[in-house]
Chains A and B, each alone.
Chain A
Amino acid sequence: DVQLTQSPSSLSASVGDRVTITCRASQSISSYLNWYQQKPGKAPKVLIYAASSLQSGVPSRFSGSGSGTDFTLTISSLQPEDFATYYCQQSYSTPYTFGQGTKLEI
């Protein structure tokens, strides 16, 4: 199974900050890496798919990069609505594992 390790597990930041979250895969997964945002009591929402493609309707302050085993999600200028938990997920091979999550707090 492909293991995904996110860092950090939690992060404190302020509105306007630039934030980067990292996801490392236990083996090469090409660009089969997706990023989701989840707010308390809500279903996850896809932000980035295929490592760097922005999902329709998602603000351009979100961006993704990487391939192989190392990936990053960057939020260029944090907005109040961005405080949430972020998960990476690989769709390279089953089981389609998730990272453990990164909680972004004020």
Chain B
Amino acid sequence: QVQLVQSGAEVKKPGASVKVSCKASGYTFTSYYMHWVRQAPGQGLEWMGMINPSGASASYAQKLQGRVTMTRDTSTSTVYMELSSLRSEDTAVYYCARAGGYMDVWGKGTTVTVSS
């Protein structure tokens, strides 16, 4: 079955970087864009950006430009989201989601906590 398996929870200090992985299975990896969406505690959903696993082109939310990088490894059907210069406001659950126009399959989420 189609599934996205994300890496485990992370605790980071302010100023550090975090890299979250999302391993896809059950479908042709290069046929769907992968999006990243985050949700701060008690807050709504925030679109972070997306990557085309076929050509590796990526598009990011303006507010994260310069701090976020999305990459992929087609040999393992895995996409990565790296966020640098972490601050307390980056504490959130990070989701990857497959999309062919709409996000139809989601990972379970990765909790990233930024705390000194």
* Cross-interface CB contact of B107 among A43, A87, A97, A100, cutoff 8 Å: A43
Chain B residues with CB under 8 Å of A32's CB are 101
A34 to B45, CA, bound (A): 13
Contact of B106 among A1, A44, A97, A101 (CB under 8 A): A44
| Residues of chain B lying within 8 A (CB to CB) of residue A101 | 44-45
Q: In the complex, how many residues of chain B place their beta carbon closer than 8 angstroms to a beta carbon of chain A?
A: 22
- A34-B44 in contact (CB<8A): no
Binds B, one of A22-30, A74-82, A88-96: A88-96
**Once the chains bind, are A98 and B103 in contact (CB under 8 Å)?**
no
Additional pairs, 17, CB under 8 Å, beyond known A34-B103, A95-B62: A38-B45, A43-B108, A44-B37, A44-B45, A44-B95, A44-B106, A46-B102, A49-B102, A50-B102, A55-B104, A87-B44, A94-B59, A95-B47, A97-B47, A98-B37, A99-B44, A101-B45
Where the two chains meet, the residues of B that have a C-beta atom closer than 8 Å to any C-beta of A are 35, 37, 44-47, 49-50, 59, 61-62, 95, 97, 99, 101-104, 106-109
